Amino acid sequence: MEYRQLGNTGIKVSAITFGSWAIGGWMWGGTEREDALDAIWASYDNGVTTIDTAPIYGQGLSEEIVGEAIRDLPRDKMQLLTKFGMRWNVAKGDFAFKSKDNAGNPIDIYKYTGKESIIKECEDSLRRLGTDYIDLYQIHWPDITTPVAETMEALSQLLKQGKIRAAGVCNYSAQLMAEAETTLSLASNQVPYSMVERTIEEELVPYCIQHNKAIIAYSPLQRGLLTGKIKPDHVFAQGDHRPTTEFFKPENIRRVDNFLDKLRPLARSKNALISQLVIRWTIEQPGITIALVGARDKDQAMQNARAINVQLSNDEIRFIDGELKKLELLEDSVPA
Ligand SMILES: NC(=O)c1ccc[n+]([C@@H]2O[C@H](COP(=O)([O-])OP(=O)(O)OC[C@H]3O[C@@H](n4cnc5c(N)ncnc54)[C@H](OP(=O)(O)O)[C@@H]3O)[C@@H](O)[C@H]2O)c1
């Protein structure tokens, strides 16, 4: 594994990090606890020391599973990343959307980052994770109802108390990061980034490089689409959010699949999987510190961690970028 500095902090993280959204089941059509535990252990055995989770993932379940998985692992060799600010059934802050929990009960999701709420959320996460500190504590989504300074104040308090080692954000623009940094120095920004979702390259990547902020690239496999296993007639489990999104429209799947076909000879020549080529490409991009990849079971976790062994030359990256330039996705799947 390769280990990289998390922005301007002294924290080292694994360049391939385990993402725990899907193992919480919520929005992914359920979860298998034993498979999820095996996935985390397989990652760790292959050098992945960093795990990202969030309270909203399975409404506590993902953090509990991570807590169980790390119980017998050396805590000081691991980095736990979690989040705050996506609350369910609180009727406070910015209403985000209606959803259903794993049991099928309706839940209302709010973006809420008031100071007292963050302090409470942190205690809840520490308990579920079975630890007394969080390595990186991140705001999950911006909350337009709370002044950024109030949110940063809560983080300053948690830093002083030693409950968190570093503070970061997710889904922030460069402008919002700059605003937040008038109160507190941020370690990182966790944002969507993949071969087919490159919005951040325009403004956020230059900002983070200039200010030495880590970029944690989430959904680098574009939620499984870039593994090459998803075909236009793919049947997803009930409750899986993917078929309702633009990326997974059959026509888009077809186009992405044609693009991936162009990469197959390169993958074969390296004895690598398409997904491994994709992950290596991601961590080779300027400014990207971490590829934050989800996995549901041991095999996926192992494959993803071992992507670190795949090397790509500059010419090979140029070849991939050339093929990407020819890929035209349906208009709607490219965010404005
Ligand atoms: N901060 C935020 O707002 C935010 C938003 C999204 C994600 N994230 C974080 O980023 C992490 C990763 O993103 P993601 O889970 O959305 O997407 P992803 O990493 O692009 O895709 C993960 C999914 O792809 C499939 N997969 C993974 N490895 C595979 C392999 N080797 N072979 C075949 N299929 C494989 C699995 O789903 P199936 O087996 O079901 O196909 C897995 O759940 C999340 O877990 C979460 O920690 C953060």
d(C-alpha 243, C-alpha 266), whole Å: 29
pLDDT band with cut points at 50, 70 and 90 for residue 335? low
Of 332, 336, 321, 304, nearest to 47 by C-alpha is 304
Which tens digit of pLDDT belongs to each residue from 313-333? 999 999 999 999 999 998 776
Q: Which residues are catalytic?
A: 57
How far away, in angstroms, is 30 Cα from ligand 1 center? 14
Residue 282: burial class (beta carbons within 10 Å; 0-12, 13-18, 19+) = buried
Q: Is the pLDDT of residue 228 over 80?
A: yes
Of 113, 83, 115, nearest to 96 by C-alpha is 113
Which tens digit of pLDDT belongs to each residue from 246-303? 999 999 999 999 999 999 999 999 999 999 999 999 999 999 999 999 999 999 999 9
How far away, in angstroms, is 110 Cα from ligand 1 center? 22
Mean pLDDT within 186-207? 98
Which residue would you say has higher pLDDT here, 290 or 336?
Answer: 290
Which of 32, 300, 306, 310 to probe ligand 1 with, by most ligand atoms within 8 A of CB? 300
- Residue located via tokens 């330039």: 325
pLDDT at 330: 86
Which tens digit of pLDDT belongs to each residue from 138-172? 999 999 999 999 999 999 999 999 999 999 999 99
> HSE on the CB side for 280, CA within 13 Å?
23
Strand partners, 293: 18
Q: Where are the domains of the chain?
A: 3-223+275-312
Which tens digit of pLDDT belongs to each residue from 71-117? 999 999 999 999 999 999 999 999 999 999 999 999 999 999 999 99
pLDDT at 54: 98
Atom of ligand 1 nearest to the CA of 28: 40
Q: Whose CA is nearest to atom 22 of ligand 1?
A: 294
pTM exceeds 0.95, yes or no: yes
Q: Whose CA is nearest to atom 45 of ligand 1?
A: 19
pLDDT at 154: 97
Q: What is the CATH number assigned to the segment(s) 3-223+275-312?
A: 3.20.20.100
Q: Whose CA is nearest to atom 41 of ligand 1?
A: 224
pLDDT at 50: 98
Average per-residue pLDDT for the chain: 96
- Ligand 1 is surrounded, with C-beta below 6 A, by 19-22, 52, 140, 170-171, 190, 218-224, 227, 229, 275, 292-296, 300, 303-304
pLDDT band with cut points at 50, 70 and 90 for residue 334? low
